[in-house]
Structure 1
Amino acid sequence: MTGEVNTLAGYLGDEVAGEVVACGRERGWTARVPARPWRSHGYTGAVVALLNVTGPAGVQKMILKVVPPAAVVPAPERAGDPYDTAARDCPAVFRAHLVMKAQPPWPTTRGGLLVFQKLAGDDVLACRSLDQLPYRQLVDVSRLIGRALLLDWNVDGLNHNTGAYAGSPPTYAEFLRQALSDPLSRRKSMHRYAEDHALAPDRVRAIRFPDGTICPNPLYLVFHQSPLDRLRLDVLTGHSHGDLHLRNVVVPDLGGGRPALDQFQLVDLDTYRRHRSLAADPVFLLMSAMAEWLPNVPGRRWDAVRNAILHPARTDAADPPVDIARAVYGATVRAIRGLDSGLTGDWPAQFLLTTLATALSFTTFAGLGPTLRAWFFRLAAECGRSVISALNEPIPEDAISMGEMFR
């Protein structure tokens, strides 16, 4: 190994360092470890690191994201470069909220991807991701983001049933299958979770939790002659990030604990889509906040947190993380109502179904641990119960009992 690789290897690991050096040699630049190193980790196993890159145009700081093979979106599913598409699509009013790429990505020999991004706020060390904010500031910025995603990023107007829906209203079950297409098909992690907990939808239609609550198996609602295939919904669609967890949003720090919340920036646009359900981003942000803050909440209050998500308009508590559910949902409802386009009635069902799907997807994140994953599964199940009740559909009577972990 060269001295160049050796230096990077201590920072990035041997394999990634070799890929970075190979990319630099082909493109005519050299990467070095900055004097103030910075690294972070994502939910999917991605590693993010700050690099100094010196080329023909001089030195530039970049953020390197190392995407593992399992998290790479297959080429047939990528409609061109998502960063380029996002840049073309973005209205001027929202452009300052997006962090774009510094140069094209580099496919690795093992099937992963190196993504080179510009710095948020021109100084990553002077920014904080949302998981680093005090709770009250997280609630405030989540409210700002919820509104901006709908009204500013989609300032040219919302759409109905565009993109994957091809202009036709999907059934409730089709909507869930589309929302869950990644964990259901590409990594198969949803199927593994179902099998590990004896929840296969072709055998288990309903479940009984330790407190006696009976819910439909949320996986049954997605598959196997689901009763949710009998009703359709108009889906509000538009520009969407697609992986909007707390670490993918940063705010500049003005010093003295004063983050500039209204200058938030979205990073890692590799999952950007021009047309996606507009509930996907705010709900994913909300579920990410739950994953971050729920471990700090006594177990006896976990039911109250779940109820706040299921019924955000009825929640008046102001303790974490209950009120963030009201903040996110309320911001999106007010944004849609403010358009005065008659679309408000479409939103509650879309938001609830998206919560069901996103909670199910969080059960596949092994890093959350078994107890938190079980909490997300029960949230998905209770979302299903609410949907079934609203449709006046009966819950199947052949419920199986769940273990204490699913309290």
Structure 2
Amino acid sequence: MISSFDADNDLAAYLGDSVVASALEAWAGGHALRVAVPPEPWRRRGGSGALLVRVRVTRIAGDRGPSDLLMKVCSPGSPAGEPAIHERAWQLSPTFARRHLFRQAFPATILQDGRVLMYLDSSESLVDDRTLGELPIRLLVDCATATIRLVWGEWNGRTRRREVSTVADVLRCELRGAFDKGRSAYRWLQQAGFDVEDAQVQALSDASAQLNAMVSLLVRGSELGQRKLEYFCGNSHGDLHLDNVIVPFGPDESPDPGRIKLIDLSGFSPTAPLTRDLATLLTSCALKVVRKGVTPAETSALVDALTASRPTAVTSCRAESPAVKDMLGVLHAVRSAALAEFDADLQHLLHAQYLLSLIAQAITYTSYRNIGHFGRRWYFELGISAAERFVAFYDSGPLVSSTWLK
């Protein structure tokens, strides 16, 4: 994030990339536009290296005044497919998109290095806007809760569907990028029975070995892995972490959750398990406090807040820091808001599905470099607890409703 820019319209310095600056100027010339640093700069950079930046454009001919665009620099590989996926999300849900997504104003530009430039309409100033990740925890409660309500309610309230598959197939669907070679989860996923290439074997920690064993139970040819699971699917952002949600702020410097915008739709799917976004949002929230380490009592409280069958207010233990206490409130509020979108008789089915999404997210987080030793260990603990609770929950009875059993 930047709040000021000292250079006199130095586009390359503003973007931090001379290649992108040259490509942007060439693109502007081809559309009879001039491009410049805006009077009020706004820039964000994502974990994958993607850049989202506001630029000022002016028509070379004509009497129309200048306007602003959001330009996104998508990383090579699968993120480069975002323009087409973004457009599909608009076409499938135009009413929701007009309120909560940015519109592509021009076709994307493909750079020689494989990156892609997206041009998004920016009718709002964005200067005072922040991502969820930039909010203090005291403001995160209302804004994260509003995010899951708009995704599950406004985006999916009338279009979500119920499907039936095996436990193993739903978990495989949710693991997605954890299969990628080079991720730290790669080796133990192989041992859990996934179809991946061989890799050099390194000693697994006790935590990863335990989670390996739990996932093996769910995905190998076990009776549990082949049992039927009814799940809810629909529109999924696909990567609903804290830095992919932009919260506008009003004149009184308070957040306006009703005008939340979602960015980075490279993982969007209209047929994904709905709990993917809930698990992503919650595990991203937890990272704010677990990255630097938490006590055993705090670990237990946070894991319980995420995995218990019903979100209940967790009694604070003496050792908890104020940040952990506040985060427990966030997790409780978001889970409660999500459950409120479903009838009571469907919530037990939703919880089983959610635990599988949570397992997948915990595994995915173990492959992130920026979470540190303490964070990685905590996500292993979360995955183990979610897997254990899923096994116990499923053993308590069928997780397919009577309408599917007839």
Task: State the TM-score, normalizing by the size of structure 1.
Answer: 0.79
Answer yes or no: is the 8 Å Cα contact 1:333–1:344 preserved in 2. yes
Answer yes or no: is the 8 Å Cα contact 2:192–2:215 preserved in 1. yes
Counterparts of 1:132 and 1:375 in 2: how far apart (Å)? 22
Counterparts of 1:266 and 1:113 in 2: how far apart (Å)? 19
User: Which residue number corresponds to residue 180 of structure 1?
Assistant: 175
Answer yes or no: is the 8 Å Cα contact 1:179–1:354 preserved in 2. yes
Counterparts of 1:216 and 1:82 in 2: how far apart (Å)? 33
2:286 aligned residue (276, 284, 290): 290
1:181-220 pair list within 5 angstroms: 181-184=176-179, 187-190=180-183, 192-195=184-187, 200-201=191-192, 208-209=206-207, 217-220=213-216
Deviations 1:118-172 (A, max 9, x none): 33x70111212112223132112222222222221123332123xxxxxxx2211
1:44-123 pair list within 5 angstroms: 44-55=48-59, 59-72=66-79, 81-90=84-93, 92=95, 95-119=98-122, 122-123=124-125
Answer yes or no: is the 8 Å Cα contact 2:359–2:382 preserved in 1. yes
1:189 Cα deviation from its structure 2 partner: 4.1
Amino acid at match of 1:49: V
Query: Is 1:379–2:359 an aligned residue pair?
Result: no
1:251 aligned residue (240, 247, 250): 247
User: Which residue number corresponds to residue 238 of structure 1?
Assistant: 234
Counterparts of 2:143 and 2:185 in 1: how far apart (Å)? 33
2:299 aligned residue (297, 302, 311): 302
1:227 Cα deviation from its structure 2 partner: 5.3
Most deviating of 311-320 and 364-373: 311-320
Moved runs in structure 1, 4+ residues, more than 6 A? none
1:345 Cα deviation from its structure 2 partner: 3.4
1:104 Cα deviation from its structure 2 partner: 2.3
2:11 aligned residue (8, 12, 32): 8
Deviations 1:65-123 (A, max 9, x none): 2122145255xxx8x8223322222263674122222322222211122122233x701
User: Which residue number corresponds to residue 22 of structure 1?
Assistant: 26
1:370 Cα deviation from its structure 2 partner: 3.1
CA RMSD of aligned residues (A): 3.1
User: Which residue number corresponds to residue 399 of structure 1?
Assistant: none
Most deviating of 309-318 and 12-21: 309-318
User: Which residue number corresponds to residue 41 of structure 2?
Assistant: 37
5+ residue gaps in structure 2?
A: 1-8, 194-200, 317-324, 397-406
Most deviating of 85-94 and 307-316: 85-94
Pair 1:147–1:46, CA change in 2 (3 A): same
Answer yes or no: is the 8 Å Cα contact 1:244–1:285 preserved in 2. yes
Q: How many residues align?
A: 366
Amino acid at match of 1:135: I
5+ residue gaps in structure 1?
A: 1-5, 162-168, 394-407
User: Which residue number corresponds to residue 198 of structure 2?
Assistant: none
Pair 1:29–1:286, CA change in 2 (3 A): same
Counterparts of 1:226 and 1:24 in 2: how far apart (Å)? 58
Most deviating of 351-360 and 175-184: 175-184
Query: Is 1:328–2:330 an aligned residue pair?
Result: no
Query: Is 1:337–2:346 an aligned residue pair?
Result: no
Counterparts of 1:367 and 1:38 in 2: how far apart (Å)? 24
Counterparts of 1:113 and 1:149 in 2: how far apart (Å)? 27
Task: State the TM-score, normalizing by the size of structure 2.
Answer: 0.79
